[in-house]
Amino acid sequence: MLGVWTTEQVRAAEDRLLARTPDGALMRKAAFGVATVAAAMLRDLTGGTAGRRVTLLVGAGNNGGDALWAGATLARRAVAVTAVLLSPDRAHVEGLAAFRKAGGRVAADLGDPDLVIDGIVGLSARGPLRPAAAALVERVEVPILAVDLPSGVDPDTGAVDGPAVRADVTVTFGARKPVHVLNTAHCGEVRLVDLGLAPELPDPDLITLEADDVGFAWRVPGPSDDKYTQGVTGIAAGSSTYPGAAVLSTGAAVLATSGMVRYAGWAADHVRDRWPEVVATGTVEDAGRVQAWVVGPGLGTGQTGRDVLTAVFSDGVPTCVDADGITLLAATPALWDARDPDAPVVLTPHAGEFARIAEPLGITLGADRVAAARALAKRLDAVVLLKGNATVVAAPDGRTLVNAATSSWLATAGSGDVLTGLIGALLASGLDPWLAAGCAAWLHVRSAELAAHDAPVPASLIQQAIPAAIRAARNLVADGPVKP
Ligand SMILES: NC(=O)C1=CN([C@@H]2O[C@H](COP(=O)(O)OP(=O)(O)OC[C@H]3O[C@@H](n4cnc5c(N)ncnc54)[C@H](O)[C@@H]3O)[C@@H](O)[C@H]2O)[C@@H](O)CC1
Ligand SMILES: [K+]
């Protein structure tokens, strides 16, 4: 599990650390980390460092100071370093002096570099790149290393509202900030330089799950388990128009649990044909006992859908509501009345579904996706999994995790149905609903990575990669769930 802290939290922690650290020591440590990564990138790109060319884009604050100190270190290693000062009067004084002393050169233009270091703006960034910086960045044709964060991207929301740096690698300091998990497309690979900040940091604002967290959370059957004790997942999905949604979500649940899966709905024959191990019936009432329900994928938004949702809620078990289920709740809020207040609900909207259900409640999906997901989770007393390139999962109590996509191959028809089935299986296994949604999101991304191999991948192949993704997560957990 990796922690993520807001810029306000990081700033306060840095102030406490700075108070007991010699002047300039933290900046030099940060800059040394930048120089080390820059040298490694140069070696990868060109086979060496001596005589290679690096251009620094230097803004007005300490972020530019980091770049200048890093430039000084590189210049001492015989790299030809040029600095373009975007605010020459406000450039970091000590950093600039060290840079010049080491043999760095100040110039008005980019030159012809092998690598560019973005030290335009860091933690204090507000809004997109200003025109002069934007014009320079637009002309960069070589890899970019961003200092702390890619300039022009909002540090706390990852939002981009105009010109911004798209980095290949971002070297950040002390703690990950929200931008690093919310906008991996602009950050590229994120490296963290340890500044010794940990003792000063409060509890993280967000977390992001790693493979071993997911492996640890996955329920492994013991010798006394049978098909019922591991949790039975119920799937109420599909219609004559969308039988495929039923097959995809049910199959994902089958592959994600060694317990049992029941299906209730129109597509029972389709489901049985593809997944003979599923106990399939026509209605929720006939389905038998389950420990969690999935409701919504391909369900339709008419009276049948409303009846199914009501029947599922009346069962009083943890429930994941997706797709048409969300649209139904948005159109007919009275459907919530059937919910047992003690039974957790997980909602899995994409941006459009989020707007549908949240806007009537006065919650809009703006640049701050974390704030929006948290507000809706609290308001509806439900876990909200907001889909997107970075998936945000907020619990009603405020716990929030972000799962960053590593590519966009998951954005394919039916992919959401697979995710829903995974969530259902994890809910049925008794996992905390927030963690269940987070682990499912992680596994979904991993399955797509394994299935895609840098090519388009249909949802049915993402589904087939589920066992391999579970194995990848579980392999990191020695002898089962023993993590302290
Ligand atoms: N505080 C510390 O202990 C440390 C800070 N470090 C560095 O210091 C950075 C923060 O430095 P600062 O607080 O001086 O601020 P920045 O360097 O982030 O920003 C400097 C100034 O740029 C201007 N600015 C804001 N948005 C802009 C935009 N879109 N385009 C152009 N200019 C813009 C503002 O006037 C702002 O005050 C961190 O990101 C990190 O790189 C590191 O040296 C590690 C230690
Ligand atoms: K930067």
pLDDT at 478: 56
Closest ligand 1 atom to the C-alpha of 17? 3
Q: Using CA atoms, how far apart are residues 376 and 361, in angstroms rounded to an integer?
A: 8
310 sits in the region (left: phi over 0; alpha: psi -120 to 50; else beta) called: alpha
Decide if pLDDT at 477 tops 80. no
Taking only the tens place, the pLDDT of each residue in 286-339 is: 999 999 999 999 999 999 999 999 999 999 999 999 999 999 999 999 999 999
Average pLDDT of span 192-200: 96
Residue 295: what are its φ and ψ, rounded to 5°?
Answer: -135, 135
DSSP state of 198: G
Residues contacting residue 61 through CB under 8 Å, at least 6 positions apart: 90, 92, 121, 122, 124
pLDDT at 257: 84
Average pLDDT of span 389-395: 96
Taking only the tens place, the pLDDT of each residue in 236-291 is: 999 989 899 999 999 999 999 878 999 999 999 999 999 999 999 999 999 999 99
Centre of ligand 2 from the C-alpha of residue 411, in Å: 29
Give all strands (DSSP E) within 122-187, no chain letters. 144-147, 169-173
pLDDT at 483: 44
Average pLDDT of span 210-219: 92
Q: Using CA atoms, how far apart are residues 146 and 167, in angstroms rounded to an integer?
A: 6
pLDDT at 117: 98
pLDDT at 481: 47
pLDDT at 222: 86
Count of residues for the chain?
484
Pairing mode of beta strands 189-193, 206-208: unpaired
Query: For helices 7-19 and 25-46, what crossing angle results, to 10°?
Result: 120
52: pLDDT confidence band, cut at 50, 70 and 90? very high
56: pLDDT confidence band, cut at 50, 70 and 90? very high
| pTM to 2 decimal places | 0.95
pLDDT at 276: 96
Of all residues in the chain, what percent are helix, strand and coil, respectively (each to 5)? 45, 15, 40
482: pLDDT confidence band, cut at 50, 70 and 90? very low
| Residue 301 among known ligand-binding residues | no
Yes or no: say if 269 and 291 are a contact pair by the CB < 8 Å rule. Answer: no
Taking only the tens place, the pLDDT of each residue in 132-170 is: 999 999 999 999 999 999 999 999 999 999 999 999 999
Pocket residues for ligand 1 (CB within 6 Å)?
14, 18, 26-27, 30, 59-64, 66, 121-127, 129-130, 147-148, 173
Q: Using CA atoms, how far apart are residues 127 and 136, in angstroms rounded to an integer?
A: 17
Taking only the tens place, the pLDDT of each residue in 79-104 is: 999 999 999 999 999 999 999 999 99
Give the ligand with the smallest distance to the CA of 165.
2
Closest ligand 1 atom to the C-alpha of 14? 3
Which residue carries 């969530």 as its tokens? 423
Closest ligand 1 atom to the C-alpha of 128? 29
DSSP state of 264: E
pLDDT at 407: 76
The ipTM assigned to this model is: 0.96
410 by DSSP, 3-state: which? coil
Average pLDDT, the chain: 95
CA distances for 91 relative to 27, 66, 67, 302, angstroms:
14, 11, 11, 63
Centre of ligand 1 from the C-alpha of residue 60, in Å: 7
Of 356 and 458, the one with more pLDDT: 356
pLDDT at 68: 98
Domains and CATH numbers, the chain: 2-205 (3.40.50.10260), 211-474 (3.40.1190.20)
Centre of ligand 2 from the C-alpha of residue 196, in Å: 21
- Cα torsion angle, 467, 473, 477, 481, sign: negative
Residue 3: what are its φ and ψ, rounded to 5°?
Answer: -90, 155
Share of residues in the chain with pLDDT > 70 (%): 98
Decide if pLDDT at 484 tops 60. no
